[in-house]
Structure 1
Amino acid sequence: MSHEVRVLLVTYGSRGDIEPMVGFAVQLRALGAEVQMCAPPDFAELLDGFGLRLVPLGQSVREVTTKAVTGAKPMPAVGLPQRAAQMFDATYEAVSAVADGFDAVVATGLIPASAAARAVAEKLGIPYVFVAYFPTYLPSPHHPPLTWTRPLPPEVTDNRVLWDLNTEDMNALFGEAINTHRASVDLPSVDSVRDHVFTDQPWLATDPTLGPWLEPSDLGVVQTGAWIRPDERPLPAELEAFLDVGTSPVYVGFGSMPMRDSQNVTRVAIEAIRAQGRRAVLSRGWADLALTDDQDDCFVVGEVNHQALFCRVAAVVHHGGAGTTTTAARAGAPQVVVPQMADQPYWAGRVADLGIGAAHDGPTPTVESLSAALEAALAPETRERATTLAGTIRTDGATMAAKLLLDMVGRERRPMSE
């Protein structure tokens, strides 16, 4: 190739959207590419730790989600088209401002942001790839779509029909905003927003055992394996000391999920863990979990290396994000998934189906319900299955994806040089 490959990575989402992109970026750079990340301003410090410059997109995603989750009422659906237009415009402006000279765009996260990323790629005439972090985000006859603004009609059981309704929903929410902006930059309108954003060959960054893509399907999905961010940080000395002095604790954390009543969730979790005769490691996260008393059987952590910590715990109680599920599975730690939204019920179901933990029924645990789930997760046979599965989790997904992308760019360039 005549010059270094330059790749734009674009996402507007929570930490679970950013972490895999960082893992991907690290592997791209290891193969000689230059990488630019466009993401919410919340993650500047994380990216800086890897020497990645951030082009900030929009407002703080933590502020937006916290207001939506902890407010008296959720954000009204009526405002979604307007917010979609604002997100598309802001993303297009930010990405296009830095995109000259780049060779490919890889996008994930919210639909309007990914649509803007594709528009930039089209204007530059460079490849665009959409990546999903869980199988059920992508259309398939094997599963229904996620619920957006209206519940799925219970009388409809044909998944293809449900995905057709999903197409209508996506067009109603985002179509006008996306096509209006596309027209303003001399791009043709699109008939199906979802199919346009996902393309007919999306990438799926999940482990094939943990989150398989079922065939046959209508899409040419490329399953790369999960994109795992490398983490070699030592655990804090105080945490090491806590882990060393007694039985393995249970980890509790909800990542970048704000919660409406985090204090009650903390109380329930600690009571349920103590009922199993276990200690607790509590992760603050975006829910700002905090101790409910001063007993010495609980320890609070902030930003720590989960890859190292999960190898030292008896079980992991979490929200069911793709990254946390994969990290716990890779560590061989039994899991209790308390799903809150989006992909999290899917991962809860996978954990239960694989026998490597328990799926809590619903987003709000009680002491009784969480105790029952913990009892199942802490059973010796669950640990045995989790340990066995850990050995099957692939760690080369980001490397595979980086090589695929560089090969794609090479094929795009070759006709011009021949």
Structure 2
Amino acid sequence: MRALLLAVGSRGDVQPFLALAVGLRAAGHRPLLAAPRRFAPLAAARGVEFAGLDDALLALQDTVRGQGVRAAVTAARPLQPMLRRLLADQAALAAHPADLVVHHPKALGGPSLAEKLGVPAVAGLLLPLYLPTSAFPSPIFPVRVPRLLNRATWRVASAVEAPHRGTVRRWRAEALGLPARSRPMSELVAAGDVLHAWSPHLLPAPAGWPASARPTGFWTLPGDDRPPPEPLARFLDGGDPPVYVGFGSSFSGDPEALTRTVLEGVRLAGRRAVLATGWGALRRAAGGDDVLVVEEAPHEWLFPRVAAVVHHGGVGTVAAALRAGVPQVIRPFLGDQPFWARHLHRLGIAPAPLTGRLSPTRLAAAIESAAALAPAARALGERVAAEDGVAAAVARITA
């Protein structure tokens, strides 16, 4: 089987699709991963065939790294030209024969590309987006609502996509030769096949979802045998397990202030720390013997060696910390992050989310309270680590 896997976004969006490609390849199939060009080395390292897509959106994020939210909003104004270039690269994928398309909805073009190729489209979702339920609200709905309104919140996914529909319609007609009119992504996904790539131990399928929508488990890459960076290994060997603090691709209005708060908070808690600056929420600062500052760190290797993971609540980091079996402290910023922060707290593996103004004392108290949650985190981690979400997804795709 020839599978075209289409992923757009940050590494947290792309890496699960790479894991699926590795699983398909191991099962004797021929996957082609299409993703932003900067991820070509990741695919090459795993022996996966790769097609590069325009990565201007990621380059834009790089240019405003560490400059705060206002700079990010200002730089994002020329979004439509970047989207047109991204879709143009997707149109070129129609030259590659395929038996199905597995797509991340952020790419926008997956269902149209499958239509052009005459093959099924399967949505690969890293969080619930398009199948409504009254059991919980849409993870991307920006405010909390009474349970009675949960189902209504699922309309937000269609609203997020709406500003780009005109661009997609013109692309369908001009680049793919298809009728310009098409149903919204929310309708296309709900009417087709979907793979939910998270652990049922984290969030089981609610009543009312079809059996085909049951979550497969996280799509995780096989272990990497490369040694960790030597300074990181040396730091870990130099004392008690530290806490990890990193906010991924989130942006902070005042990175310097947040960095000061984090450093003071972990020290008030009496902990050493690995501080990952990421894409702009934190700034590189003088560490000291008790703090190691890095740009990023290998989560799969590092997290089992820390006492707790302090992060933004992105589902990729949630997954890595779950598998490691360590408690999590969540400072959510936007999107689905508050949803996961509240949910992990309900599961008993994270303190209450650190919403609102973050102070050193609040952070220190959360880190200290996380210690009592370690047994529950370890027990849940063992169940999650026993899953093979990639194998489950491959079985569904090839059934």
TM-score, length of structure 2 as denominator length? 0.87
Report deviation, 1:23: 1.1
- Alpha-carbon contact 1:316-1:335 (below 8 Å) kept: yes
Q: Distance in 1 between matches of 2:245 and 2:8?
A: 26
> C-alpha deviations, 1:75-131, integer Å up to 9, x for none?
48x96xx846862x4344323323432211111141xx23x1211111111121001
Report SS of the residue matched to 1:347: helix
Q: Distance in 1 between matches of 2:162 and 2:16?
A: 30
- Alpha-carbon contact 2:198-2:216 (below 8 Å) kept: yes
Report deviation, 1:137: 5.6
Q: Distance in 1 between matches of 2:319 and 2:355?
A: 21
- Alpha-carbon contact 2:129-2:157 (below 8 Å) kept: no
Q: Distance in 2 between matches of 1:153 and 1:237?
A: 44
The count of residues paired between Structure 1 and Structure 2 equals 392
Q: 1:386 to 1:57 in 2, by over 3 A?
A: same
Q: Distance in 2 between matches of 1:238 and 1:385?
A: 31
Matched, 1:163 2:158: no
Aligned counterpart, 1:411: none
Aligned counterpart, 2:111: 118
Report deviation, 1:403: 2.3
Of the three residues 315, 320, 323, the one matched with 2:313 is 320
- In the TM superposition, what are the counterparts of 1:332-343 in structure 2 within 5 Å? 332-343=325-336
Aligned counterpart, 1:13: 9
Which residue identity lines up with residue 313 of structure 2 in the other structure? G
Q: Distance in 2 between matches of 1:52 and 1:377?
A: 39
Matched, 1:94 2:89: yes
Q: 1:209 to 1:225 in 2, by over 3 A?
A: same
Which residue identity lines up with residue 386 of structure 1 in the other structure? A
Of the three residues 294, 299, 302, the one matched with 1:309 is 302
Cα RMSD over matched residues? 3.0
Aligned counterpart, 2:217: 225
Residue ranges of structure 2 left out of the alignment (5+ in a row): none
Q: Distance in 2 between matches of 1:275 and 1:172?
A: 46
- Alpha-carbon contact 1:85-1:178 (below 8 Å) kept: no
After TM superposition, the structure 1 stretch with the greater mean CA deviation from structure 2, 204-213 or 96-105, is 96-105
After TM superposition, the structure 1 stretch with the greater mean CA deviation from structure 2, 322-331 or 252-261, is 252-261
Report deviation, 1:226: 0.8
Report SS of the residue matched to 1:252: strand
Q: Distance in 1 between matches of 2:131 and 2:374?
A: 31
- Alpha-carbon contact 2:134-2:147 (below 8 Å) kept: no
Q: 1:340 to 1:312 in 2, by over 3 A?
A: same
- In the TM superposition, what are the counterparts of 1:172-211 in structure 2 within 5 Å? 172-184=162-174, 185-187=177-179, 189-211=181-203
Aligned counterpart, 1:392: 383
Report deviation, 1:71: 4.9
- Alpha-carbon contact 2:326-2:377 (below 8 Å) kept: yes
Which residue identity lines up with residue 164 of structure 2 in the other structure? F
Of the three residues 287, 295, 313, the one matched with 2:288 is 295
Residue ranges of structure 1 left out of the alignment (5+ in a row): 408-418
Report SS of the residue matched to 1:173: helix
TM-score, length of structure 1 as denominator length? 0.83
- Alpha-carbon contact 1:358-1:373 (below 8 Å) kept: yes
After TM superposition, the structure 1 stretch with the greater mean CA deviation from structure 2, 305-314 or 44-53, is 44-53
> C-alpha deviations, 1:330-386, integer Å up to 9, x for none?
11111101111222112212211111122433275221221221121123xx11111
- Alpha-carbon contact 2:266-2:367 (below 8 Å) kept: yes
Report SS of the residue matched to 1:131: strand
Q: Distance in 2 between matches of 1:243 and 1:163?
A: 43
Report deviation, 1:61: 3.4
Q: 1:15 to 1:257 in 2, by over 3 A?
A: farther
Aligned counterpart, 1:31: 27
- Alpha-carbon contact 1:85-1:174 (below 8 Å) kept: no
- In the TM superposition, what are the counterparts of 1:239-278 in structure 2 within 5 Å? 239-278=232-271
